[in-house]
């Protein structure tokens, strides 16, 4: 693996492991990385700036109050220059300063000023590493998105044996290259169309038939597909939700409207997920005026709506990978597997909406995925968490 002139800012703090930084810089440069070095005053007690300048080919920065650097706001420029800031070794002292947001020298100021990824390679005595204060500081940094690489375990310079050794240069190089290699999103270049929410089947200008679907699951699926790099079309029935930023929303009302939009978008989609709660029937005739009360009973004539997910699955040309949802109140697995087969789907996501706290209008859900002759149970979780798991499972079938 190689990088084309990726820019690494190496921050060296005081610790015996600083002697390994010369090899670390050399190995990074072997991978075509540009490396600049910042040293604390303590670091210079273990390895000289001249050594680091020789291996990096760049002047070593060590003073926040350098008049020449400050004239050009040098610490800010360095902070912006880097693609990755790596603090190695990261002593317990520098870790504590980072956690507290202290900026009392060049390195700690850079760490506050940089917008880029920061990684640390802890290196200290095993007892110092195990101390509750150090562990708390590391947890704080990790929660802020700082990558914590190591430490390793073994014999230490002080004679102790335990966890606290800085990772070896080749290990840090590998981690650095991985961090600088952007992961290709699972659905990059794919188009996903999702139906969500209820449909409304008009009876007259005032009344309609509908259901309790809130659209939360469908909208969560759209957000998950976006997060995995897909271009997303969201065909949404009437809901009160705010669509995820970045998806193209197609607002519809009736099942016929949703069917028409689905058949338009499906042939240009790689994945089609039918999550909407589509009305099975609609009024045979919609009254032009509000229907008035007439006696104690009223008879409605309903006709069957088209089966959107089955029609998408039946496409002969440009058929997308087709995923349906089955919201059942009994015999969930039996009905879901029947729909999977009868509608010609690739996958179906089934849930028991008779259970309290999941399904319609709830923020949580539990699903069982069925495909081919396999199944996967997804226990109770937020709809956002479930949606990401479902979309990743679908992506895995395409790759």
Catalytic-labelled residue, pool 21, 33, 158, 247:
158
User: How many other CB atoms are found less than 10 A from the CB of residue 110?
Assistant: 26
- Mapping DSSP to helix (H, G, I), strand (E, B) and coil, where does residue 22 land? helix
**Partners of 366 in the beta sheet?**
none
Q: Which tokens in the block code for residue 133?
A: 């204060």
Helix extents (H) in the chain: 21-30, 49-56, 67-71, 74-81, 92-100, 106-113, 126-130, 132-143, 169-180, 216-227, 255-265, 308-313, 332-342, 383-398
- Mapping DSSP to helix (H, G, I), strand (E, B) and coil, where does residue 104 land? coil
Gap between the Cα atoms of 270 and 349, Å rounded: 18
Alpha-carbon Rg for the chain in angstroms = 30
Give how far Cα 6 sits from Cα of 29, 55, 203, 218, Å. Answer: 10, 17, 64, 40
| Residue 247 annotated to the active site | no
In 3D space, the residue among 26, 11, 388, 15 whose CA is nearest the CA of residue 220 turns out to be: 388
Q: Would you say 344 and 309 are in contact if contact means Cβ atoms under 8 Å apart?
A: no
**N-term to C-term CA, the chain:** 23
Residues serving a catalytic function are 158
């Amino acid at each position: 693996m190689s990088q084309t002139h990726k820019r690494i800012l190496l921050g060296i703090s005081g610790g015996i492991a600083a002697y390994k930084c010369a090899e670390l810089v050399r190995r990074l440069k072997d991978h075509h990385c540009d490396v600049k070095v910042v040293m604390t005053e303590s670091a210079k007690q273990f390895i000289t700036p001249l050594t680091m300048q020789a291996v990096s080919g760049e002047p070593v920065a060590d003073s926040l109050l350098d008049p020449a650097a400050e004239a050009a706001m040098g610490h800010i420029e360095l902070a912006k220059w880097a693609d990755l800031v790596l603090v190695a070794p990261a002593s317990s002292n520098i870790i504590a300063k980072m956690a507290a947001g202290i900026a009392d020298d060049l390195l700690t100021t850079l760490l506050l000023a940089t917008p880029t990824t920061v990684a640390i390679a802890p290196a200290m005595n095993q007892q110092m590493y195990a101390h509750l204060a150090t562990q708390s500081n590391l947890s704080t940094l990790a929660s802020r998105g700082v990558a914590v690489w190591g430490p390793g375990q073994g014999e230490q310079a002080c004679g102790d044996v335990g966890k606290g050794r800085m990772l070896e240069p080749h290990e840090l190089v590998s981690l650095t290259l991985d961090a600088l290699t952007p992961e290709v999103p699972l659905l990059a270049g794919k188009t996903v169309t999702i139906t969500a929410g209820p449909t409304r089947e008009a009876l007259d200008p005032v009344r309609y038939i509908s259901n309790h679907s809130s659209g939360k699951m469908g909208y969560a699926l759209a957000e998950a597909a976006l997060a995995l790099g897909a271009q997303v079309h969201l065909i949404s029935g009437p809901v009160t939700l705010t669509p995820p930023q970045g998806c193209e929303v197609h607002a519809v009302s009736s099942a016929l409207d949703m069917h028409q939009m689905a058949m338009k978008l499906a042939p240009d989609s790689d994945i089609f997920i039918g999550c909407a709660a589509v009305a099975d029937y609609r009024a045979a005739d919609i009254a032009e005026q509000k229907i008035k009360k007439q006696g104690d009973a009223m008879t409605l004539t309903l006709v069957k709506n088209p089966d959107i997910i089955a029609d998408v699955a039946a496409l002969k040309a440009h058929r997308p990978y087709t995923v349906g949802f089955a919201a059942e109140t009994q015999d969930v697995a039996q009905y879901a597997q029947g729909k999977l087969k009868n509608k010609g789907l690739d996958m179906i996501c089934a849930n028991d909406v008779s259970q309290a706290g999941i399904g319609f209008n709830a923020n949580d859900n539990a699903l069982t995925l069925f495909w081919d002759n396999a199944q996967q149970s997804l226990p109770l979780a937020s709809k956002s968490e479930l949606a990401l798991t479902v979309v990743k499972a679908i992506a895995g079938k395409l790759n």
